């Protein structure tokens, strides 16, 4: 297996993954455009075994998943699901959307997430936290991203989302370095998405390499952090979802990633 790989984050294609047949057709299209892996997220009802079979049928690897806190707390079921998918990484899709959360609330959440993550980590499934932009807002003079990196057990990794870091006023490369400095293998997977602006200076998501983010700096930071999975995501935007993934993949190949 290469040291680094590119995967498609299936949240991008959530309108095309509502049934098992939808998922099979979507996997075929993703594989045909050149992806060898996906992050399983925003899927309609499907059993772990059926999902694993569709991955095998199309030759796709499950790089990671997204799960809820409730799913994480069902330790045995979560382990069985990831074993079926032959998948090592999962991440929770964020927390703390309530502006009244204090720094102490974030520290308490970090401890809780760590306690939930530890038995999964011991059994071979590593739990991460996916940021949005609100984790860069100040709470009692502290940024939640720093609190998560400091107070989560080192087994908890942080799934840096390049767009949302920039949306929150941060530098994605600097934050990757900052988190990586807190311990080994803390950024094994990232979400790669770009940011562009309208003529009126409104921010919007764009395809990787088609916006304004500093990709040479971001990729250098990922190399320093020993990041293994570059997971392409586009939550919304003017380009059709499948075409968006295809454009990002082509641009990433031009950047030297495979």
- What's the pLDDT at 1? 40
What pTM, to 2 d.p., does this model score? Answer: 0.95
Domain boundaries, the chain: 5-254
- What's the pLDDT at 4? 62
Helix 103-122 × helix 75-85 angle, to 10°: 60
Q: Which long-range contacts (CB under 8 A, 24 or more apart) does 115-120 make?
A: 116/69, 116/72, 116/73, 117/72, 117/152, 117/153, 117/155, 117/156, 118/153, 118/155, 119/75, 120/72, 120/75, 120/78, 120/79, 120/90
- The CATH class that applies to domain 5-254 reads alpha beta
- What's the pLDDT at 3? 60
Q: pLDDT (tens digit, 9 = 90+) per residue, 162-187? A: 999 999 999 999 999 999 999 999 99
Give the chain's residues under pLDDT 50.
1-2
- What's the pLDDT at 56? 98
């Amino acid at each position: 297996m290469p040291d680094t790989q590119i995967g498609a984050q299936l949240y991008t294609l959530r309108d095309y993954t509502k049934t098992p047949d939808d998922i099979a057709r979507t996997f075929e299209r993703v594989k045909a455009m050149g992806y060898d892996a996906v992050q399983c997220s925003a899927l309609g009802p499907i059993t772990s075994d059926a999902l694993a079979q569709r991955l095998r049928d199309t030759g796709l690897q499950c790089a990671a998943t997204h799960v809820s806190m409730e799913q994480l707390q069902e330790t045995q079921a979560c382990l069985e699901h990831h074993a079926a998918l032959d998948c090592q990484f999962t991440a929770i899709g964020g927390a703390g959307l309530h502006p009244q959360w204090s720094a102490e609330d974030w520290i308490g959440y970090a401890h809780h997430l760590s306690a939930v993550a530890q038995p999964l980590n011991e059994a071979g499934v590593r739990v991460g936290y996916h940021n949005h932009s609100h984790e860069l807002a100040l709470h009692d003079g502290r940024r939640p991203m720093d609190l998560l990196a400091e107070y989560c057990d080192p087994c908890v990794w942080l799934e840096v989302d390049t767009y949302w870091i920039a949306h929150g006023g941060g530098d994605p490369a600097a934050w990757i370095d900052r988190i990586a400095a807190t311990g080994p293998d803390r950024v094994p997977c990232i979400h790669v998405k770009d940011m562009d602006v309208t003529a009126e200076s409104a921010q919007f998501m764009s395809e990787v390499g088609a916006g304004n983010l500093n990709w040479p700096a971001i990729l250098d930071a990922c190399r320093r952090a020993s990041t293994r999975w570059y997971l392409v995501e586009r939550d919304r935007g003017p380009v059709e979802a499948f075409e968006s993934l295809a454009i990002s993949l082509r641009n990433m190949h031009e950047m030297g990633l495979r």
